[in-house]
Structure 1
Amino acid sequence: MEIETNGTRIHVKDQGSGALALVFLHYYGGSSRTWDGVAAALPDRYRIVATDHRGWGDSAAPADGYGIADLAADAEGVIEALGLEHYVLVGHSMGGKVAQCIASRRPGGLEGLVLVAPAPPTPAVLTDEQRATLAGAYQSRESVEFVIDHVLSARPLDATLREQVIEDSLKAAPQAKAAWPNVAMLEDIGAAVTSIDVPTIVVCGEHDQVDRVSTLQAELLPRIPHAQMHILPGTGHLSPLEAPGELARIIARFVAAIEDKTAR
């Protein structure tokens, strides 16, 4: 499905028909299909919506507009176009920072927030060399494979998932690849996220080298003090691919608790 929003075209996977929707926002390097394993392991009573950020997957790739507010506006447009009245945002890494931005605005219909290995709301502290390395991480098959093995994952991915990560990483538009390390990662939404008031969980991989547990404990949790943290043992940054079943169980428990509270 293609949805025109915020001056661009966003590709959306929409399945199920439950009253509560789970809206999935992917990481830097991924696409809507990053969530396929998690979606398959969730109870079928939920509507599952997963987007490709602009410049990623099968979405259009405009020349500019890759800041956090732009990506948030794209997702908000999808939510509005689909008429979602009750939903939970699930954001991974870059998508986690976008989800924080959306939730900070307290939109009507938002029932909860799941942050999976989220980028913190404060600017990432990187040297120029580190930023250049990150910007070049998805330029060739060899560079993607190196990042998978040495940075992104702690558990080995099977051949199909490994190929999916390589394809998604290479497919993205150059401007989308450049914008995260050079623009969006450096944005500071730390003050804004203090207004998040919906139930929130933060799910971290024990061995995540990208958005480390210690970083999130220092930069995110003090700003969303009601958030609960869950640590996935033996897992790296790619928990939706490394541990989809475990992640789905955490999400399902969290969402069920929201539903129980709403029903009272």
Structure 2
Amino acid sequence: MRAPSPGAIVAVVTAFILPHELHGDGAHKVLAVHGWFADRSAYAPVLPDLDTDAFQYALVDLRGYGEAKDAVGSYTTAEGAADLLDLADRLGWERFSLVGHSMGGKVAQRVVALAPHRVRRLVGVSPVPASALPFPPEQWELFASAAHLADNRRTIIDLTTGGVRPAAWLDRMVTRSLARSDVKAFRAWLDSWAGEDFHDRVEGCQVPALAVVGALDPALPADLMRQTWLTWFTRGELVELPGVGHYAADEAPLDLIRAVEDFLRADDAAAETAGAEASQPPAADA
């Protein structure tokens, strides 16, 4: 290799690529985004039963989580959305659907705000709305201190699943959360998903959008989705899962798969119908 000439400027480009794993080889491409408490391993309970013939899922780690735990960044929904669009470009996915849990649902809405023409369908699983989410002072302290207090993380998980889950499950969820997230990033993400308001960017959006919520989740209930999600998305839909809290992938994986994939398949059925109609010869004049 020839050394650069004296005085030459050598540029080194080190673009960040979201860590991800692909499941399936279907024609319908889907980006799946995790929430505040876990990395992409949050989707592990649903993986064995996904329809990998119809869909190809890309499970990602946002900055500060999983394999991106040490990645520097601003840890905002705007940055996350830009990272997702960059990954879609690298995968060669011109159009795709999005599934986002909780904080990941807000990141997914940011993608829709930035590039609605690229999104086939949007699914939010207990999604944080695109508006700001105000907290009473004592609740804010509980959430803000959860960055470094394991007991606070456990309390939040218990509260948002109706206080009915086994102690061992709560402990396991906290252990995963601590292991798979960076403390600084975890805290910074809270400011972003709780404080940002870009609902005017999705208001009137015609991308089909499903919100799946748990009946035991007091934080992001069906009523809040009716006031936000169903108001902003003109083709919005809502499914409430009984006996489920904030973590549907863990609490009711089969019910979640059915709700999500039935909704995603509706896009494929519509495309097939449109294609069949376009291929029909014009009707003869009477």
Q: TM-score, normalised by structure 1?
A: 0.89
Aligned length in residues: 260
The 3 A distance-change label for structure 1 pair 148 and 257 is same
Query: For each residue in 1:230-253, what CA deviation from the matched residue of structure 2 results, as whole angstroms up to 9, or x when unmatched?
Result: 000011111111111101001111
Structure-2 residue corresponding to 1:136:
145
Query: For each residue in 1:202-222, what CA deviation from the matched residue of structure 2 results, as whole angstroms up to 9, or x when unmatched?
Result: 111111122122222112221
Structure-2 residue corresponding to 1:83:
92
2:232 aligned with 1:220? no
Structure-2 residue corresponding to 1:178:
187
Residue range with higher mean Cα deviation, 157-166 or 49-58? 157-166
* 8 Å contact from structure 1 (residues 144, 166) kept in 2: no
2:24 aligned with 1:24? no
Percent same amino acid at aligned positions? Answer: 27
Distance, in Å, in 1 between the alignment partners of 2:78 and 2:217 is 26
Distance, in Å, in 2 between the alignment partners of 1:128 and 1:63 is 29
Letter in 1 for 2:253: P
> 1:1-264 residue pairs with structure 2 within 5 A?
7-45=15-53, 46-152=55-161, 156=165, 163-264=172-273
Does 1 or 2 have the higher relative contact order (CA < 8 Å, sep 6+)? Answer: 1
* 8 Å contact from structure 2 (residues 147, 187) kept in 1: no
Distance, in Å, in 1 between the alignment partners of 2:92 and 2:207 is 20
Query: For each residue in 1:38-59, what CA deviation from the matched residue of structure 2 results, as whole angstroms up to 9, or x when unmatched?
Result: 2322212111111011001111
1:159, distance to aligned residue in structure 2 (A): 5.0
The 3 A distance-change label for structure 1 pair 6 and 204 is farther
* 8 Å contact from structure 2 (residues 213, 241) kept in 1: yes
Query: For each residue in 1:71-98, what CA deviation from the matched residue of structure 2 results, as whole angstroms up to 9, or x when unmatched?
Result: 1111111111111234210011100011
Query: For each residue in 1:92-142, what CA deviation from the matched residue of structure 2 results, as whole angstroms up to 9, or x when unmatched?
Result: 110001111111233444211111100011111113332221022242443
SS at match of 1:183: helix
Distance, in Å, in 1 between the alignment partners of 2:166 and 2:20 is 25
Residue range with higher mean Cα deviation, 126-135 or 185-194? 126-135
Structure-1 residue corresponding to 2:9:
none
Root-mean-square deviation (Å): 2.4
Letter in 2 for 1:94: M
Letter in 2 for 1:22: V
Structure 1 alignment gaps of length 5 or more:
none
The 3 A distance-change label for structure 1 pair 156 and 128 is closer
Q: TM-score, normalised by structure 2?
A: 0.82
Letter in 2 for 1:146: T
Q: Runs ≥4 in structure 1, deviation > 6 angstroms?
A: none
Letter in 1 for 2:183: P
For the pair shown, which has the larger CA radius of gyration, 1 or 2?
2
